[in-house]
Amino acid sequence: MKLLRILAVTAGTAALTAGCAHDGYYDRGYGSGYYANDYRGGNGYHGQHRYAERLPNPFRGSGADNLDPWLSGTREGQQFVIDHYALGPNGEIGNAEAESANIFFRRWADTDRNYRLTDAEIRTALVHTRNRYGTRRY
């Protein structure tokens, strides 16, 4: 009986610890593929905006078309991908790198952690990339 109580307490403690340590961000958070499920329109990212100049996608390869438009079509987003991911010759990016860039940027930009990006969150994250992530160089 005493052994059963010890096992029950140990199992309960382990379950509580695991539940508190796991945030589930990737399980129910951002998925791979098309960004529309993770994007909540607001100020018209797809319409006229003034926060980033639209540029042609400079990336090539299997993952080029899979990058979110704010990563592939803005100077700040392009710089983010170039700074953080290994690109092949002529800006080639694979599917795995593009998916990783999308998920990392979505998670980083999602300041309220509701798994849905707003235009304000995208703009703020792009400004941080333009300003070198808020660090100062002396």
Tens digit of each residue's pLDDT (9 = 90 or more) over 25-73: 444 456 555 555 566 555 445 544 455 567 889 999 999 999 988 899 8
> pLDDT tens across 107-127, in order?
888 888 887 888 888 888 888
- Please give the C-alpha separations between residue 26 and each of 4, 57, 94, 104, 138, in angstroms, as whole numbers: 35, 27, 21, 10, 37
138 band by pLDDT with thresholds 50, 70 and 90: very low
Dihedral angle of Cα 94, 62, 116, 110, to the nearest 10 degrees: 30
Is pTM beyond 0.85 here?
no
- For residue 92, the model assigns a pLDDT of 95
> pLDDT tens across 74-84, in order?
888 898 899 88
- For residue 47, the model assigns a pLDDT of 46
